[in-house]
Structures are given as structure tokens and as C-alpha cells.
């Protein structure tokens, strides 16, 4: 039976214990801040990043890893497995997939299947987790790819930002530029779906914003999986306990790393979910 491994990039923000247990390879993206280029998840902790972020004079910038980072990861895997499924951040948000393709060309002895996740954060991470579980269960590449294709349109990311300031500064989302001035004192509710970010609500207080977010999560109907995502949110434990009233299964907690956290800012709360078929 062909041996299969799963690879993704660090914008997936898969909790480390889950990635290690499932043998998922993660290629770090980069964040540039204070004149330094730092590998996401390796050269700066999340706690340090969110502590420093509000005081930075210049907004951090982010970058995809070079092709040789992917080549190195593929080369290492080539001695362990026959095939790799590389599930990467949405092509509408990043050029990561194209760089991974270049890296895979440097390792022709390994069969690499590249997948556009059409997502980021744990919307991407959940796809890698499902794929790794399928691989461990002995499923074929075609079965795993079909499973990913099935769940992609059922993945939802909903969240509340503490401020729109960081998304506005990033320049990545057009509507954030248009509405930032009138929403700077509002808690915006956003959705990430199929690689697009949308403003789905605006509330004046954090307490009401979280209540509204929970209403929206309940409105998703029956869920197959649920993950809490946050950016150094002080009320993450309380939010986690309230989520338990909506979902009886395990609810892993994913703290967003510097690359995506640069655009969201600190104190954001949200979820990634796979809705029932």
C-alpha cells in the first residue's frame, strides 16, 4: 500500500499536539517586524507577538516561504513516504500553492498532490487534519482528495474582531478600507468563506458581539467538527465553555499565529466548523 503524508503551511494554525499526533508536516510562512524576518511558529511566540503588536510603529508584513523551504520539506518526506498531499492556504489570499509547486519540482522522486484549500486558519487546518486521519486509516489518495472536496464547501469560519484597525492597515480586504472610519469603535463580525472575507455584523460592545457570534454559530445547524480560534483573547476560556453548550464533541483551541494575526489584531475570537452534510 502506498504510504501517504499530509503537508500544510503555518497559516493553518493547527495546534502543535494535533499536528504531532497525526504526523502533519507544517511549512512556516514568514512575518517581518522590527527589521527582522521571522518564521511563523518557530522564531517568535504568539504571546510575544501579540504583546508587541499594538506598540509597533510599522505594521508587520508577511511573506510566503521560499520554494527551497518546501523543497526541503518534500525531500525529507521522500525518504519516509511515497506520496504527499499538500493542502495550502487559499490561492485568493496567497501565492503559497505556486511556491509549493516550484518546491515539489525539485524533488521529482516524490509524488506531490497540491490542493487549494480555499481557506485559511483552521478552515485550512481542518482539511489537513481530516486528510491525515484518512491517511492513517489506510485510505487512498483519490479517496482522501474526494473527502477534502466534499468538506470544503461545508467549512465555515465566523469571528469577532476587537477592532477593524489591523484589517484596515493590511490592505488585503477592500471593504475594510471603505468602512474602517465608521467602524473603528464597533466590534465587527466577519466570515471567511471560500477565500473571501465578509462583514456580517457590527455590534458596539464585546459582550454583545460574542452573544451575536454564538447565535450565528447555533444557526449553522448540526456540526461535524468545531474548533475555537483566537488571537490572545482574554475571555477564551469563557467562550470555550459557552461553545460546549452548542457542540458535544471535542473543541480544540487554536491560537492564531503572527502571519494571520497581523491582519486580525489581538483579542479576536471565533470558530472554524465543518457543517453536517
Q: What is the CATH number of the domain that holds 83?
A: 3.40.50.10170
Same domain, 109 and 159: no
Q: Does one domain contain both 13 and 130?
A: yes
Residue 181 confidence (pLDDT): 46
pLDDT of residue 175: 45
* Total residue length of the chain: 277
Same domain, 210 and 96: no
Helix axis angle, 206-218 to 236-243, nearest 10° = 30
Let me know whether 256 and 158 are in one domain: yes
Q: Are residues 263 and 163 in the same domain?
A: yes
Same domain, 189 and 80: no
Q: End of a domain among 118, 152, 186?
A: 152
- Residue 84 or 194, more confident: 84
Instruction: Please check whether residues 260 and 241 belong to one and the same domain.
Output: yes
Last residue of a domain, one of 86, 120, 152: 152
- How many independent structural domains does the chain possess? 2
Q: Which domain holds residue 211?
A: 154-275
pLDDT tens-place string over residues 226-242: 999 999 999 999 999 99
CATH code of the domain in which 182 resides? 3.30.1180.10
pLDDT at 63: 93
**pLDDT tens, position by position, 150-189:** 999 999 999 999 988 887 775 554 444 445 545 567 888 9
Average the pLDDT over 59-67 and give the result.
93
Shared domain check, 44 and 15: yes
Q: Using an 8 Å Cβ cutoff, are 11 and 29 in contact? A: yes
Identify the weakest region by mean pLDDT among 76-80, 88-92, 182-186.
Answer: 182-186
Torsion of CA 208, 213, 218, 219, to 10 degrees: 110
108-126 pLDDT per residue, tens: 999 999 999 999 999 999 9
159 with 148, same domain: the answer is no
**Same domain assignment for residues 251 and 146:** no
The three three-digit cell numbers of residue 172, written as one number: 488585503
pLDDT of 172 reads 54
Mean pLDDT of all residues in the chain? 92
When pLDDT is averaged across residues 47-52 and rounded to a whole number, the result is 92
Last residue of a domain, one of 91, 118, 152: 152
| All cell numbers assigned to 262 | 497581523
137 and 21 in a common domain: yes
Pairing of strands 30-33, 36-39: antiparallel
Helix (H) or strand (E) holding 126: helix 121-136
Least confident of 11-20, 73-82, 179-188: 179-188
Q: Are residues 170 and 77 in the same domain?
A: no
Phi, psi angle pair for 117, to nearest 5°: -70, -20
Residue whose C-alpha cell is 525518504: 79
Amino acid at each position: 500500500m502506498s504510504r501517504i503524508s499530509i503537508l500544510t503551511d503555518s497559516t493553518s494554525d493547527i495546534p502543535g499536539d494535533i499536528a504531532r499526533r497525526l504526523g502533519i508536516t507544517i511549512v512556516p510562512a514568514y512575518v517581518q517586524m522590527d527589521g527582522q524576518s521571522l518564521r511563523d511558529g518557530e522564531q517568535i511566540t504568539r504571546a510575544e507577538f501579540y504583546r508587541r503588536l499594538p506598540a509597533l510603529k510599522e505594521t508587520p508584513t508577511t511573506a510566503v516561504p521560499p520554494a527551497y523551504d518546501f523543497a526541503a520539506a518534500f525531500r525529507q518526506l521522500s525518504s519516509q513516504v511515497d506520496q504527499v498531499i499538500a493542502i495550502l492556504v487559499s490561492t485568493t489570499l496567497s501565492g503559497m500553492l505556486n511556491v509549493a509547486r516550484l518546491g515539489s519540482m525539485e524533488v521529482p522522486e516524490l509524488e506531490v498532490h497540491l490542493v487549494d484549500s480555499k481557506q485559511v486558519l483552521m478552515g485550512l487546518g481542518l482539511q489537513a487534519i481530516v486528510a491525515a486521519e484518512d491517511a492513517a486509516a489506510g485510505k487512498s489518495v483519490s479517496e482522501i482528495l474526494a473527502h477534502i472536496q466534499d468538506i470544503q464547501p461545508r467549512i465555515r469560519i465566523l469571528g469577532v474582531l476587537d477592532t477593524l484597525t489591523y484589517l484596515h492597515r493590511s490592505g488585503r480586504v477592500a471593504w475594510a478600507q471603505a468602512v474602517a472610519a465608521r467602524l473603528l469603535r464597533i466590534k465587527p463580525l466577519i466570515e471567511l468563506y471560500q477565500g473571501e472575507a465578509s462583514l456580517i455584523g457590527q455590534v458596539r460592545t464585546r459582550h454583545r458581539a460574542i452573544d451575536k457570534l454564538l447565535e450565528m454559530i447555533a444557526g449553522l445547524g448540526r456540526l461535524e467538527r468545531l474548533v475555537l480560534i483566537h488571537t490572545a483573547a482574554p475571555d477564551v476560556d469563557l467562550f470555550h465553555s459557552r461553545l460546549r453548550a452548542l457542540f458535544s464533541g471535542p473543541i480544540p483551541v487554536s491560537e492564531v499565529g503572527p502571519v494571520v494575526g497581523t491582519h486580525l489584531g489581538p483579542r479576536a475570537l471565533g470558530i472554524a466548523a465543518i457543517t453536517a452534510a
